[in-house]
Amino acid sequence: MVNQILVFLKELEQNNNRVWFQDNKARYEVLRKAHTEIVQQLINRISLFDAEIAGLEAKDCLFRIYRDIRFSPNKLPYKTHFGAYIAAQGGRNSERSGYYLHIEPGNCLLSGGLWMPQPKLLKRVRQDIYDHIDEFVSILEAPSFKAVFSELDGETLKRVPAGFPPDFEYGEILRHKDFCVSHIKPDSFFSEKNWMDRAVACFEKLLPFNRFLNYTVDEYTGKGNNSSPHPQQN
């Protein structure tokens, strides 16, 4: 079914207008339902190793295909990808670090982490990373993690942010505006019979990364129970 979604998205990219979309609306609804079922399967599978995901519903994780063009110079009305953010405490609206599935022709990926955290939370995350840098680096450099997620993604500052030593050994990490990692997959990945098994295996590698970040997120939001010291890697 993912292959059919990719075909639809390729056609949408070439016909990104309301007339074409309305003519293909019934087809879109069938594919969106299939996507919802796929995401629910992923949630159920991920919850086997990350219990905090248990009970999450796919409908709360899916992003709309309709673009908000009110303040954008790009007036194309539809996104040309299907996205789902699987995270406790709100799914796509959660502030927590989670798991992201992105289906887009030529740009499919499995991703996770914190994307565009608000400034105060970003400052707290950087501080926590600085205070526990050995733990964080050990997560990033673990062979099983690095084999899938080779480096941090996203934009960076030109300099180490204020409040941290400018000559800090891992200043490059602190310069990040997001704390995300991604693993790009070819479209053909979804033609494999065991693609979901392989996707779940990739997402499982994110567990220590997400736990580290979510410790800080939960402290910041007050929604977690962080009375214990910062968790350490075994």
Q: Residue 232: pLDDT band by 50, 70, 90 thresholds?
A: low
Sign of the Cα torsion 77, 82, 83, 84 reads positive
Domains belonging to the chain, first-starting first, are 2-221 (3.30.930)
- pLDDT single digits (tens) 113-137: 999 999 999 999 999 999 999 999 9
The predicted pLDDT at position 116 comes to: 92
* Mean pLDDT, residues 31-49 taken together: 98
Nearest to 182 by CA among 114, 93, 129, 230: 114
pLDDT at residue 233, as a whole number: 45
Tokens of 20: 């074409």
The contacts of residue 89 (CB under 8 Å, 6+ apart) are 95, 96, 221, 223
For residue 222, the tally of other CB atoms under 10 A from its CB is 7
| Structure-token pair, residue 92 | 């796509």
DSSP state of 78: B
Q: 20 to each of 100, 157, 196, how far by Cα in Å? A: 28, 41, 31
State pLDDT tens for residues 153-207. 989 999 999 999 999 999 999 999 999 999 999 999 999 999 999 999 999 999 9
CA-closest candidate to residue 115, choices 46, 45, 204, 213: 213
